[in-house]
Chain A
Amino acid sequence: MREIFVLAERRRGELRDITLEMLTKGRELAQKTDSELTAVVLGENVEGHSKILAEYAKRVLAIKDKKLEHFNSDIYQKVLSYLIKERKPLLTLIGHTSYGIELAPSLAVSLNIPLATDCIDVEFENETFTVTRQIYGGKVNVKASLQKAWSYIITVRQAAFQAEKTQLTGEIDEIPSPLSEEMNEKRFVDYVLPPPGGVDITAADIVCAIGRGIKDQNNILIGEELAEALGGVLACSRPIVDKGWLQSNRQVGSSGKTVKPKLYIAVGISGAFQHIVGMKNSDLIIAINKDPNAPIFKAADYGVVDDLFKIVPALTQKIKELKSAKA
């Protein structure tokens, strides 16, 4: 029986959430294609993770090798291309993460099999896979089909699927490492941890986040004043950090912090997926943006389609009035 591979994503001893999300989707695809779901895990000490993966898959393929402990796309590509040639899975699912972005394209080229990246849904139709992707900044969805081939690779967006536990107790197969000679073209050196200290936006009950719409560094004050009036903290989306206007410890999103405050106000933030995953679980979300088509309005409870330079100062003023009346 053919297999569907899910490549487990591990970092610094942690099994990353995307792995279980992919296994859940992979299970559904395995049923629909009469395939078996196989989790592939690579690393030095993988026993613990193999046991977790066995609760989600029919089989776990574990390759234990010291060279695989830290992710290195050159070495991973060698191992995966060996496994795919050997076992000919129908499909290999990989996370569209810093890990999959580095690995999947060159793996697909080397095997000469098609790849679809950053997919939010996957179906099997007409003897091939059809995927759903978001394009043009999340303003449009596209349905696309993969060119027919003997095997496929699809990378999956984080949080596109919800992980669901099963009653499975898959078998764990340890496979000897196919790595023999040293590979020196690419070396993992070390992790870079975020600088310690500073503001902790994840601890705040109220977060006011500013984005590209504030246009100028001097306008940060507008967001600061709103945050201060509410007794919250100031946060931001990626472009503000890219421009060097605020430090990265205030960035909300997949490459920054994930926050879950009681109130999140998004000011001039369009709502790229990478931002949404970092704030969508907030209790109450208010978005202010002049673009009615901004994806942020699909994540928000309340939306204001208007000029932030008019709305935010008025809101700050009202809050101050109310607070001083109370005092």
Chain B
Amino acid sequence: MDIIVCVKRVPEMAEAEVRINGSGKDIEKTGLVFDINEWDEYAVEEAVYIKEKLGGTVTVITVGSEDVDATLRKCLARGADRAIRITDSKLEGSDGYVIAKVLSRVIRNLPHDLVLTGVQASDDGYAIVGPALAELLGIPHVTLAKKIEFKNGFVRVNRELEGGLGEIVEVKLPAVISVQTGINEPRYVSVMGIRKAAQKEIKVLKLADIGLSENEVGVAGSWIKTEELYMPPAEKQAEYIKGSPEEVASKLVEIIKARGLI
């Protein structure tokens, strides 16, 4: 099975302080730690797992600058065979739709039985690329996959719905599947493995190589355009309890006790 995995490198936001940059249209990225988008990490693991079971190849593809190579190397160390990066300054300001267009131009020329993406990226959170890519490739898709199985040219997916419910959906191969977190346990990548993967080639493509013109990408080719970023207004803000752990604990106990809960 020839599997393509689309990945993105994103800033780690969990404990980071966010500042809006001078343009007002993006955040200040200096000082942030970047790594593979959490959803994509599960997608790469799933692809490698399927390859180990059924044979075939895994190719990782990304759109981004040279900085993304560290992420691609990690994917290669995890078990991917090849990596492709599409880099072009004209892609600045592209939304999920443009990314899907770019990926579709590359993937349509590669053997692909299965294309995996993460459900969404943790930075812009569009959740568009997977299903938009499928439509551009003219193949079916399933989003929010929690389990993937194969039988007779079909892929059977357990997809996550709301409130603990799931559903089983079957689609014909080739297909695009967007992977939800928790589908597997991403393996540990050793430093040794990353070093070995450093020898594998990363193919770099520019816009001209994939036959897209300037007005089909960037802001001009996008569905949506960023006007401004701003800090979310606090409709409600917690009252902060301060002091030593013992003082904080005492104050919290008083609050809980006042509600008759102790």
Contacts of B14 in A (CB 8 A): 137, 212, 270, 291
Decide if B125 is an interface residue (CB 8 Å cutoff).
yes
Distance between B75 CB and nearest chain A CB, rounded to angstroms: 19
| Cβ–Cβ contact A106 & B168, under 8 A | no
Instruction: Determine chain A's interface SS by DSSP, over half rule.
Output: mixed
Distance between B198 CB and nearest chain A CB, rounded to angstroms: 29
One of A97, A284, A290, A293 near B259 (C-beta < 8 A): A284
| Cβ–Cβ contact B167 & A145, under 8 A | no
One of A114, A285, A298, A305 near B232 (C-beta < 8 A): A298
CA distance A311 to B224 in the complex (A): 44
Given contacts A131-B224, A306-B245, contact A98 B162 (CB under 8 A): yes
One of A140, A145, A188, A323 near B231 (C-beta < 8 A): A140
B134-177 vs A, CB cutoff 8 Å, 1 = contact: the mask equals 11100011111000000000001011111111111111100000
| Cβ–Cβ contact B230 & A117, under 8 A | no
Contacts of A165 in B (CB 8 A): none
Decide if A90 is an interface residue (CB 8 Å cutoff).
no
Number of chain B residues close to chain A: CB under 8 A: 82
Looking at chain A, what size class is its interface with the partner chain? Answer: 35 or more
CA distance A322 to B182 in the complex (A): 39
Contacts of B181 in A (CB 8 A): 238-239, 242
Contacts of B131 in A (CB 8 A): 73, 101-106
Distance between A251 CB and nearest chain B CB, rounded to angstroms: 8
CA distance A262 to B260 in the complex (A): 10
Distance between B107 CB and nearest chain A CB, rounded to angstroms: 15
Decide if A283 is an interface residue (CB 8 Å cutoff).
yes
Chain A residues 297-311 with CB under 8 Å of chain B are 297-306, 310-311
Contacts of B209 in A (CB 8 A): none
CA distance A327 to B144 in the complex (A): 50
Contacts of B164 in A (CB 8 A): 194, 248-249, 251, 255-257
| Cβ–Cβ contact A140 & B20, under 8 A | yes
Decide if B60 is an interface residue (CB 8 Å cutoff).
no
Decide if A142 is an interface residue (CB 8 Å cutoff).
yes
| 8 interchain pairs, CB-CB under 8 A | A98-B143, A101-B131, A105-B128, A145-B227, A186-B171, A190-B168, A283-B259, A322-B253
